[in-house]
Amino acid sequence: MATAPTVLNVIVTGGGRGLGWEMADALVQAGHRVVVTGARAGDELTRACEAWNRGRSAPVAVAVRADVARWDDCQAVAATCIRQFGRIDGLVNNAGRGMREISETFNREPALFWQADPQGFRNIVDANVVGAFLMARACVPSMVAQGFGRVVNISTSQVTMVRTGYSPYGPSKAALEAMSVVWAK
């Protein structure tokens, strides 16, 4: 495998706020370039990239509105990174959906899986499991071809994976953990 480039080009999904924003910010502050994605409408991604790019001669951050559960969006994100920065060196699969898809009160009252909205259940699994696969599927072929690349899947604690009332969020992260082990092999 080739050695890592000095400046990395990293895609951070769900990079407009929270942990995703923190990871993207740390990458930019360390001298790397990022493509940040988010599925929601709004200007949080644009504002973040404008701040990261301010005062620079060339952009170090690019925003892409994309839903990781959509294959076409994942392909577009990978193509954007290659077009803007020349290659993909890393993917941080951070985007995901949480228990609010099932219940607004899940923190106070355990959500009963048999009462879960089927579409909410599907949204969580699609983002947290299928989305991580689709993004990796869109990015890894170019990493393999260049002889270098890393995929980082953001999960949760084992306690949360099996916490009462956290279905399907916890099990979706358990699936992501298992996929990470299989992919690493």
Q: Which amino acid is at 156?
A: T
77 with 91: CB under 8 angstroms?
no
Please choose, from the candidates 135, 10, 115, 14, the residue with its C-alpha nearest in 3D space to the C-alpha of residue 75. 135
- Residue in this structure with the two tokens 């990015």, named with its chain if needed: 139
Helix, strand and coil in the chain, % to nearest 5: 50, 10, 40
Q: How far apart are CA 63 and CA 34, in angstroms?
A: 9
Distances (CA, A) of 38 to 55, 145, 158, 173: 24, 27, 26, 19
11 with 35: CB under 8 angstroms?
yes
Please choose, from the candidates 115, 156, 150, the residue with its C-alpha nearest in 3D space to the C-alpha of residue 135. 150
Pairing label, strands 61-65, 33-38: parallel
The residues carrying an active-site annotation are: 169
